[in-house]
Amino acid sequence: MLRSLYDRIIRLSGHRNAGTALAVVSFTESSVFPIPPDALLIPMCLARPDRAFRYALWCTIASVLGGLLGYAIGAFLFEAVALPVLRAYGHPDALATFQGWFERWGAAVILIKGLTPIPYKLVTIAAGAAHFSLAVFILCSVMTRGARFFLLAWLLRRYGPAARLFIERRLNLLAGLLAAAIVAAILVIRFA
């Protein structure tokens, strides 16, 4: 099943609407959707290394725009929308935790969390709920998301054929490691 999905994403990455699909996933991941855009970005960059930086740009722009939606949800709809999302991730007290982090470390929270596999929507929603500076939030989001996606695109463009062979030979192992990393991130968020 995993091999079939991987092969299908590789085939679809050449479709004329592939970039749009990537942007939609990247936008929604920053505010409500649980799947990171890397799940599409990696196979798309492997299939079309000539478009890797274009894909990274789309991911960055869409992620920052989606982050603004997450910020707005946190700032204006915390009780109605944000709290249920945070509860769904098993961390309804995330606001208090993030507010403490924002007070203590400021922009570093956005810069660090934006690079990690911890769901970025938690950062965007909490930043809005904490009424963190919008200008600093946007600047940090552009920097951290851009760094993440462009670094990934550069690595895949540079080492693409070898990376593709490595991934295809060890797809099940890598999927298992990714699943373990996601579970670990959720546990860290839940019990932090």
Give me the residue spans of the domains in the chain: 2-191
The predicted pLDDT at position 108 comes to: 79
d(CA 157, CA 153): 6
Count of positions (residues) in the chain: 192
Residue 67: count of CB within 10 angstroms of its CB: 31
Residue 78 has pLDDT above 90, yes or no: no
pLDDT, tens digit (0-9, with 9 covering 90-100), for 84-98: 766 776 766 766 777
pLDDT digits (tens, 9 = 90+) for 98-138: 777 777 877 877 877 777 666 788 788 888 888 889 999 99
The whole-angstrom separation of Cα 47 and Cα 37 is 16
Helix axis angle for 134-169 and 120-129, nearest 10°, is 170
Cα angle at 141 between 136 and 145, to 5 degrees?
A: 160
Quote the percentage of the chain above a pLDDT of 90.
Answer: 21
The answer to whether 55 and 41 have CB atoms below 8 angstroms apart is yes
Q: Which residue's entry shows tokens 């579970």?
A: 183
pLDDT for position 174? 64
Asked if 23 and 61 count as a contact pair (C-beta separation under 8 A), the reply is yes
Band (pLDDT 50/70/90 cuts) for residue 172 is low
Average pLDDT over residues 139-163: 87
Q: Full-prediction pTM beyond 0.85?
A: no
Looking at every residue in the chain, the average pLDDT score rounds to 80
The confidence score (pLDDT) of residue 139 equals 93
Q: Is residue 186 a contact partner of residue 90, using CB atoms and an 8 Å limit?
A: yes
